[in-house]
Structures are given as structure tokens and as C-alpha cells.
Amino acid sequence: MRRRLVLLSFLMLFVELGLIRWTGAYNVYLSFFTNFILLASFLGVGVGFLRGGASGSLFRFAPLLLAALVVFVAVFPVEGARVEGELRVVGGFGWPALPRWVSLPSLFALSFLVMASITEGVARTFARFEPLHAYRLDIVGSLLGIVVFSVSSFFGAPPVVWGAIVSIGLVVVADRNRWRALVPLAAFVAVLAALSFVPDTSWSPYQRIQTAPAEADGSVEISVNGRPHQRVMSLATMRVEQTFRFQPYLQAPGIPLENVLIIGAGSGNDVAIALSEGAKHVDAVEIDPVLARLGRDLHPDHPYEDPRVSVYVEDARAFLHDTDARYDLVIFAIPDSLTALAGQSSLRLENYLFTEEAIEEVRDHLVPGGVVAMYHYYLPAVADRYADTLDRVLGSPPCIDVGPGAGPRPRVVLTARIGSGSLVCDRVWQRPAFVAAADTDDHPFPYLTSRRIPGFSLVALAAILLASAIAVRLSGARPGEMRPYLDLFCMGAAFLLLETTNVVRFALLFGTTWFVNALVFAGILTSVFLAIEVARRWRPRRPQLLYVPLFAGIAIAWAIPPGTLLGFGFWPRFLAAVVLGFTPVFFGNLIFADRFRDVASSTVAFGTNLLGAIAGGILEYGALVVGYRALSFGVAGLYALALVLGRSHLRAARPMAP
């Protein structure tokens, strides 16, 4: 029975991670609402636990629901394509794309039902154990889920591998009539196989990558998660079609180019240009290993094979933290991923590249008179924000070159030189009457030009709250059953915010890579496991005193901005990040474990706690307004509310455990 609970908990987390990664690869709407599937999953997990003692079983429908979800995604994808020169969303099979108000609610409902059905199976087994022991086994299964999912991502496993693992697990844990699950599971795996073996499709640790057949001039179109992303082009083609990439060299004539840094090197176009302009050495930094490999294999000029080039597959900000190299020219070569770092935050892979602190780090790696250039299809307000940041950090206004772009986003090239060095400009940027405040490491949202939550997100969050209330009501749970566990609800919300703050802290300090992200979640679950082990062996007479180190840990983590650790070496920085990040996690879960051991209904209590995570996920959007550090006040406030709501439990007399 213990193995069954571990396996079911493994499946629960593994399916959740798979849904977040896989659905986002086929629906571009999810690129702009990053934790949508996460919130649907938490609702499903919470409702599944609330139904742990209900009559009838949703668990037997899990294979059928999984098949329905993958069929929906396969038949109704939402991708990007150029139509009459404009980037538009399109559907599959030549059909128009489903509108957002149809596509997103459908994905939410199906993801919720899949997670609710699987979790109900977890809950029915969970209830057979003493609460703390069940929680311990659940965490063990979740750790296994993180490890297996991370390993499969590392090896670029396509969706069919994810589907096969899930299907085998569901067959193993099936109670009876196992054969009934085989038909929907076969359909589930077959659809994933059909999607996995589409020609010229690869899966990186971050995204789905497709390449089109090479054109006559050797050009190759690359799409990422169903959107045109970049195009491998020869130097000859770029000199005709993409002359803007040569602007920095024309605007800074005579620059020695002893050492050049390309951020977002991708398939190698900008590296090839730097070499053609006489660069003695180029450091090419690209976060996605598959894009770097495609550049090596497909680029007609073979820039990555040139001995003057060093390729680094890592996060560019982390590269800047750890290198002592100095550069004549640094180019931000359209590093725009549209890929979320994790379901727990609104960060995209490139968000920390454009903050004021990031530009200061670039400045510190420039030789005297060094040049910084960036180009992309920017909204005018975003272009002005970046130009203003370059002006203030480097000490001189940048050259600006504007050309035809994509819809409301013109193509913009910004080139700036440190200090008073001169550039050859047709036009120097002039500060307009209003410029959006610079992005910072605490508020790293480069494309959000005001501190507000977008209107569509507000509508979607309100709809999620309404859907959550309806789902809980329909689950059969009675408010009276959940009321004694409102303190656990607050703890669930606080814990989700703690996860978010840890994700963004480690992303800043060590890079927005899949490996760092996996280590953060493994570290969080390990901290939870250690807290459970302590709680199993020790029971405090006055559990309210555990809130003292918890609040102290939250306060210290808030008082020390993550950026202050960037000057440390790797290991001191890592040790400080672990202590600051995981101390509140440990004490928060020690408090939870001590409270959870005495609950009358472990499934209702745990379900209430997990539903609290939905509230935490919604509160996380507050970072768009107040920044990530301020989320610590939300964490402290939620734990303070849990302390008040759980005071009757805290006052109860208890013996000292041996």
C-alpha cells in the first residue's frame, strides 16, 4: 500500500508538470498567461482530495480524460503564422484558431478534470494512513516525479515518452478491470506518438522546436512552440533582407572587435556577421541547446565551427555573473523566447536580461569605449524604456534606427557607447515627455510598460475564482467540513508564494535554466521532507513558537535583496540562497506537519490546503504591480492569518514527544 501511494503521488506531480509543458507547446495563448494550467491543476488536486471519501470514483475515468485532453490539443492547436506579412494565430488543419474565450476555458476544464480524477485515486489511498505518514509518502512520490520529469527533459524526450510513463503507471495502480483502461490509454499514447514523430521536430528542455525545409539560398525557418521564431540565413541573404543586423558595426566604425559577446546567439546568424566584420573572438551565449545544435548543423556559413567562436549553452545573465571577460561589443540578438520559466511565476526565460541591473553588468564587462546594441520588433514605449536605460547606465543617448516591422511593433535598433565615445548616427534618441520606468531585478517585466495587471488577466483570474467555487461545491464537499482547516488554506497560499519567491531568486542568481528550476523544486520538496521527519520525531509543547523562526526567516530573506549576493563566488552565493530560500520553507512545513498530524480528516484537510495554493497563484500576479520582493509581505500576512485561525489547535494541551 505504501508503494501504491508513492506511485500515485508520482503520477499526480508528473502529469501536472507534463500538462504545463506540453499544452503550452501547442497553444500560444498560454505564453501570455503562464500559470493558467498550474491553477487548473491545483484546483483539480484540491477537489480530488475533497472527494477522497465520496461515493463513486473519478479515478477510473482518468485514462479517458487524458485521451480527451490530448485529442482536444491535437485537433484544436493555436499556433502563430505569417499571413499576408502579419503574424496571426491559426488553428490546425487549415481551420481558424479557436478564440481565447473558448480555447482557454476548455483547456482549464480538461486539465482540472484530469488532475481531479488522478488525485482522487491518491486521496483514497492517502486516507488509509496516519496523516503525517501519508504526507511523507506523498512527498517521496513528488520528489520522484521531479527527478523523472527533469531527466526526461534533459534528454529531449518527446510527449510520447511522457504518455508512456503515465500509461504504465495508471495500468499498474488500476484496482480492477484493468483492461478497460487499455483502449483510452492506447488512444492517449497514439495521439502523443503522432505529435512526437512529426518530421523535423525536436524537444529541448524548454520548448518544441520545428524546422522547415531549406530554401534555395540555404535559409531554414525555425518555429518554437508553434510560432515563427528565427530563420537560419547566409551572410549574403542577410545583407539583402536583414540589413539592420549590420547597423551596430556601421554606427561604431573603427571599433577593434577584439572580443564580442552575442546574447541570444540562437542559430548563429549574428555570430556569422560578427566574424565577417573582423571579430577576433566571439562568445556566443544561447540558453537552448537544440537551437545551438541547429545552428551548428544547418547554418550555411558554419559560424559555430569557426575556431574564433566559443559557444556557451547557458543563461546569459548567469554567464555575466561568472565571467571576467571584457568586450568591445555586446549584442542582444533578439532574445525573445515567449517561453515561461515555470508555471509558478510570470517570468519568461529572457526577463532578467533587460533590467537596469543587467545593463549595469554589461557595462562592467565593456572595455573603455565599448558598445552595446540591441534590436527587435519593439512597441514604441518599450523601445523608449530600453533607450532610457542605456542612456542612464552608459552615460550617453543611443543611436536609434526604426524600420518597418510587425503590425504595431516597428523594427528598432538601439546602439550605445559607454561614456562620451562617439557613434555615427542618422538619428540620436530623444527623450519623450513620458518614459516607462526602467525594468529592475525586482520587477523584471520588460514588456509591461506600467505597473498593472493586464485586463485580460484580471478577467481570467476572476473566472478561475468563480470556477473554483463551483467546482468545490459540485465536488460534494460541505463548507462545514472545510471550516476547521482555514488555517491550512492560508498555509497553502503562503507556500505557493514562497515557491514563487524561490523560483525567481534562484533564476536571478544562477540563471533561468531548466536545471536551476528543477533544483529549486527538488530543494523545496527536500526541505518539506526534512520538516516531516523532524515532526515525526519531535512534538513541541508550544507550537506557536515555531512561528518565530518562520517570520524571522521571511524578514531576513526580504531584507537581503537577491542582487546583493551577485558579487559572491558561486558556492557562497549558493549557500546564502539555500539558507535564505529554504529556511522559511522548512519552518512553514514544520508548522504544517505539526498541525496536520491531528486532523480529523486527512483528505479534507489536505484538499483545503491545496485549494489555498490557488489563492497563492492568483496573489502571485501582484508582483506585476509591487515587484517580487513585496510578495514576502503576502507570505508573512498569510502565515499570520494562519496563526490566528489555528489558535484553538495551538492552545491545545499536548505531551512532549520523546
Whichever domain contains 306, its CATH number is: 3.40.50.150
Domain count, the chain: 3
**Residues 304 and 188 both lie in one domain:** no
Question: Tell me: the pLDDT tens digits for 489-538?
Answer: 999 999 999 999 998 899 888 887 778 888 888 999 999 999 999 999 99
Do the domain assignments include residue 426?
A: no
Other beta carbons less than 10 A from residue 101's beta carbon:
12
**Residues 55 and 148 both lie in one domain:** yes
Ordered strands of the 409-417 beta sheet: 309-312, 282-285, 260-263, 327-333, 366-377, 409-417, 399-406
Do the domain assignments include residue 585?
A: yes
Which neighbouring-strand residues pair with 414? 374, 400
Instruction: Report the pLDDT value the prediction gives residue 406, as an integer from 0 to 100.
Output: 65
Do the domain assignments include residue 553?
A: yes
Whichever domain contains 115, its CATH number is: 1.20.1250
Give me 239's grid cell: 545583407
Report the SS3 class of residue 395.
Answer: coil
Length of the chain: 658
**Residues 16 and 87 both lie in one domain:** yes
**Residues 187 and 306 both lie in one domain:** no
Return the sign of the alpha-carbon dihedral for residues 245, 271, 217, 291.
negative
- How far apart are alpha carbons 511 and 456 in whole angstroms? 29
Q: Per-residue pLDDT for 657 more than 60? A: no
Question: Tell me: the pLDDT tens digits for 329-364?
Answer: 999 998 876 565 544 456 777 888 999 999 999 999
The boundaries of the domain holding residue 171 are 1-205
Residue 650 · residue 643 · CB < 8 Å: yes
* Terminal alpha carbon distance of the chain: 28
**Residues 177 and 247 both lie in one domain:** no
Instruction: Report the pLDDT value the prediction gives residue 653, as an integer from 0 to 100.
Output: 43
Q: What is the dihedral of CA 83, 271, 213, 514, to 10 degrees?
A: -80
- How far apart are alpha carbons 561 and 559 in whole angstroms? 6
Instruction: Report the pLDDT value the prediction gives residue 656, as an integer from 0 to 100.
Output: 44
- How far apart are alpha carbons 652 and 658 in whole angstroms? 18
**Residues 111 and 245 both lie in one domain:** no
Question: Tell me: the pLDDT tens digits for 174-225?
Answer: 866 677 888 999 999 999 999 999 999 999 988 899 999 999 888 999 999 8
Read off φ and ψ for residue 306, nearest 5 degrees: -70, 135
Q: Within a 13 Å sphere around the CA of 133, how many CA atoms are in the beta-carbon half?
A: 8
Strands 227-232 and 220-224: antiparallel
Q: Per-residue pLDDT for 654 more than 60? A: no
Residue 20 · residue 159 · CB < 8 Å: no
Question: Tell me: the pLDDT tens digits for 143-153?
Answer: 999 999 999 98
Do the domain assignments include residue 447?
A: no
Confidence of residue 651 (pLDDT cuts 50, 70, 90): low
**Residues 413 and 523 both lie in one domain:** no
Do the domain assignments include residue 652?
A: yes
Do the domain assignments include residue 110?
A: yes
Do the domain assignments include residue 245?
A: yes
**Residues 392 and 538 both lie in one domain:** no
Do the domain assignments include residue 425?
A: no
- How far apart are alpha carbons 213 and 199 in whole angstroms? 10
**Residues 475 and 363 both lie in one domain:** no
The alpha-helical segments, DSSP class H, found in 430-568 are 455-474, 479-482, 486-510, 514-537, 547-559
**Residues 385 and 467 both lie in one domain:** no
